[in-house]
């Protein structure tokens, strides 16, 4: 509709910019991609040489760049935008939030989250069937959630079969009075079976202590996580081996990449279309340096620096986590001191949001540095 004749896709994530791997994105080529999972362009970790990327943008004569991805990707987009601005290039840089973890700050939710929760629920259903079918059956499901437990939390609420949900934001302990192992034993005595959902980033401090593990990083600078599912499975088995006349049957389900690789559901398909339209119209109107997403139900252009300030995390003193505790009837595994600290963090979180929403959110016409592009504020 805007009369654009040339659209290219960059293959292999940020590295593709300077390795010159491009795919012409014609209407015929992209016709059915919404019916597939994954990405036709591929992805990668690390390899973010900002100077080379902007050199490539300049050499190719690209005047709009749409960068799709999660928290780390948006940070990369922000750095690219700053370099484009510094050089005075006539190029809009636009971010589109896509991550199943839902850990991008400010926005209501990211693309892919609804689909991930729906698929996670299938794994929980399977774990419940397995647990019910055995004497003292335990179904343990590990879900994605490096630093944010949104998938685990919402899948738990959607399922209603979960007895315990463990997320990175809520510390827990195993041994002793009020610990997780005591709770598991009590629930098995009461119900004869139970289902546990654990996010991949939960309990990492406990695992590291028990294994004397030294932190290592991946290509993107993220801390490599230890497998909390296998570790927790073994701890539960070891605990009940000491209990005479208390046999258990534990089934561990890890649907991690099955959840991420499926095609998007109807809700996410609609959301993706709206994100695409909003991003495109914003760039065509001359805006730059923004991520597009709904905030309090209305689609907005949000400057990169707001998106990248912090990660979106479950606030465990908030109502949604309280609803999870009510649904599962699990203890919070927190001391009074932990709760007070969380309340203090929550107060600061609400103050930050109040200041953000109270500011003048109207985009302003651009500076000479951006050659007439408008910058989101």
Residues catalogued as catalytic? 101
Please report the beta strands in 81-163, taking only residues with DSSP state E, as ranges in sequence order: 92-97, 137-143
First to last CA, the chain: 28
CA dist., res. 292 & res. 310, Å (int) = 17
Give me 64's structure tokens. Answer: 């709009």
Neighbours of 375 (CB within 10 A): 20
Which DSSP string do the residues of 144-194 spell out, in sequence order? --SS--HHHHHHHHHHS--SEEE-TTS----SSTTSHHHHHHHHHHHHSEE
Pairing of strands 374-375, 164-166: unpaired
Helical pair 228-241 and 180-191, crossing angle rounded to 10 deg: 70
Residues 6+ apart with CB under 8 A from 376: 287, 288, 289, 290, 301, 302, 303, 363
């Amino acid at each position: 509709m805007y009369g654009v004749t040339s659209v290219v896709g960059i293959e292999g994530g940020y590295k593709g910019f300077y390795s010159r791997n491009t795919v012409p994105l014609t209407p015929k080529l992209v016709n059915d991609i919404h019916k597939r999972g994954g990405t036709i362009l591929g992805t990668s970790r690390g390899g973010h040489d900002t100077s080379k990327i902007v050199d490539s943008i300049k050499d190719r004569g690209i005047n709009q760049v749409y960068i799709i991805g999660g928290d780390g990707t948006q940070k990369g987009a922000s750095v690219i935008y700053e370099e484009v601005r510094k050089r005075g290039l006539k190029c809009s840089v636009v971010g589109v939030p896509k991550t199943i973890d839902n850990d991008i700050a400010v926005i209501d939710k990211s693309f892919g989250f609804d689909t991930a929760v729906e698929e996670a629920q299938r794994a929980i259903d399977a774990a419940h069937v397995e647990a019910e079918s055995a004497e003292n059956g335990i179904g343990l499901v590990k879900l994605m959630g490096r630093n944010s437990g949104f998938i685990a939390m919402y899948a738990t609420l959607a399922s209603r079969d979960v007895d315990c949900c463990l997320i990175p934001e809520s510390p827990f302990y195993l041994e002793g009075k009020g610990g997780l192992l005591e709770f598991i034993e009590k629930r098995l005595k009461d119900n004869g079976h139970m289902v546990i959902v654990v996010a991949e980033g939960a309990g990492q401090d406990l695992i590291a202590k028990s294994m004397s593990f030294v932190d290592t990083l991946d290509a993107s600078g993220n801390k490599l996580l230890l497998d909390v599912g296998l570790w927790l499975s073994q701890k539960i088995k070891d605990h009940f081996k000491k209990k005479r006349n208390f046999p258990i049957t534990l089934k561990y389900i890890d649907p991690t990449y099955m959840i991420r690789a499926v095609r998007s559901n109807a809700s996410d398909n609609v959301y993706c279309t709206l994100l695409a339209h909003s991003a495109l119209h914003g760039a065509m109107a001359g805006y730059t340096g923004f991520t597009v997403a709904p905030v309090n139900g209305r689609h907005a252009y949000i400057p990169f620096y707001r998106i990248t300030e912090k990660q979106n995390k479950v606030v465990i003193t908030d109502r949604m986590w309280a609803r999870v505790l009510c649904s599962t009837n699990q203890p919070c595994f927190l001391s009074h001191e932990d709760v007070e600290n969380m309340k203090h963090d929550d107060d600061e979180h609400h103050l930050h949001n109040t200041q953000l929403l109270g500011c003048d959110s109207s985009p302003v016409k651009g500076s000479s540095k951006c050659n007439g592009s408008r910058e989101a504020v």
